[in-house]
Amino acid sequence: MSSHQVRTRFAPSPTGYLHVGGARTALFNWLFAKKNNGKFILRIEDTDAKRNTTESYEAIFKGLHWLGITWDEGPDIGGPYGPYFQSQRNTIYEKYLNLLDKRGFLYEDQGAIRFRSPRKKITVADLVCGNIEFDLSNPITHPDMTIRRPDGSWIFHFVNVIDDIEMQISHVIRGEDHLSNTPKHIELYHALDAVPPLFAHIPLILNKEGKKLSKRDGGASLDLYIEKGYAPEAVANYLCLLGWSPKDNREFFTLEEIIQKFELSQINRRNAVFDTDKCYWLQGQHTQKMPLSRYRELALPYIQRAGINYPSLDELDKVLEIVKEKVRLFSDIPSWIRCFFDENFEIEPEAQQKVLSQPGTSDRLKALRQALAASPVWQLETIEATFKNLASQKSEKTGNYIHPARVAVSGRTVGPSLYHMLQILGQEKTLARLQKAEALAS
């Protein structure tokens, strides 16, 4: 292990999607390295050839990049301790296997190679869990571990330790489910005369039933948050709060702020419960506070995928500005903004039935159209005044004109501020849409 530099790693297996628990482990390792001017390494543990898939590699890279996590060494960029795929490190493992063999730690058992345990008590000095003693003296409760299977493939425990030695990992930050493996790993370090890294086992993430968050749970895949249109900064913020709590009880953080504040000593022992409502709340906090340029950057992929053609970014920004405080998920934006750029928007059946089909709606739309047509200037104040004056003249509530007008110009019963919508659409488009809706209304 290098004497000074902090070196952390994330070592996923490419056998499925990127789990939020894995994403959080990567995040904690990255944050700790950043906070301490260290290096963060991505290593792919792909020794299980039967279960590895290309889609899984891609999900890992895509998910980490999306969260804003970058690595200093890894499979795609290389580094001084490569290769960074375990499947390409066979000669390194052979070298360490021979070393253990020469020292008398190995024996063969039905074609498998096993490590002969020294049968001692081992204390794991964990930075989160404290000192925990494991008694490895009993061969019934602690059988000698296999390090190579009869088919020649390596067992995780062995290659994991060898890679951490070779890559000079200073801190191993991982899920608490690995804590029981750690004494076995320490045995290997001692057998190889290597100094073990410092360990920090972070609490598990549980579902609402109190069981470990699994693939069957709705919110377990990071891909889901990308598809739904969460902001990466909101998800990263939420993942950090699963087990880590800074002293000031704040919940909203930017990644830069978290890097400044992150300490392993502030990680709880208590298991964290994954709460999608809390994540959604943080999404709202982040979208409301982010600059419009960032909001647009995150919205654009969804707008483009929906085939919405906007005349210019300036025109798009005017629309996004009025939906920003209402729309939390970027995947919802196309349905909120399509009507601004497409005359062929559909009127939702519910809006037709609930609003346009009500008695007197056609007359109200006609009166509104005539009043708005007479408006000499098309500004927010004059549009609002026209609605209020008309309602007052007819001794009606303003809402009796607002609701049908909203359906007429957007096809929906909900949306951003109507007066702002009409201002952006302009007088000509507004009047044409009101006239079209008159014919559809009762």
Active centre residues (catalytic): 215
Contacts of 228 (CB under 8 A, 6+ apart): 329, 331
Task: Tell me if 401 sits within 8 A of 437, measured CB to CB.
Answer: no
Residues in the chain, overall count: 442
Helix (H) or strand (E) holding 24: helix 20-35
Alpha helices in 290-332 (DSSP H): 292-305, 313-323
Instruction: Tell me the C-alpha to C-alpha distance, in Å, between residue 301 and each of 229, 241, 295, 334, 410.
Output: 9, 28, 11, 10, 22
Encode burial over 134-162: b for 16+ CB neighbours within 10 A, e otherwise: bebeeeeebebbbbbeeeeebbbbbbbbb
CA 150 from chain center: how many Å? 40
The alpha carbon of residue 7 and the mean position of all alpha carbons in its chain are separated, in whole angstroms, by 24
Contact of 135 with 102, CB cutoff 8 Å? no
* Contact indicator for 17, 222 with CB cutoff of 8 Å: yes
Which residues touch 347 (CB under 8 Å, ≥6 apart)? 356, 407, 411, 437, 440
Q: Can you spell out the DSSP letters for 341-406?
A: H-TTPPPPHHHIIIIITSTTHHHHHHHHHHHHHT-SS--HHHHHHHHHHHHHHTT--THHHHHHHH
CA–CA dist 387, 385 (Å, integer): 5
Q: Could you give the CA distance from residue 225 to residue 304 in angstroms, rounded to a whole number?
A: 18
Distance CA 170, CA 163 (A): 12
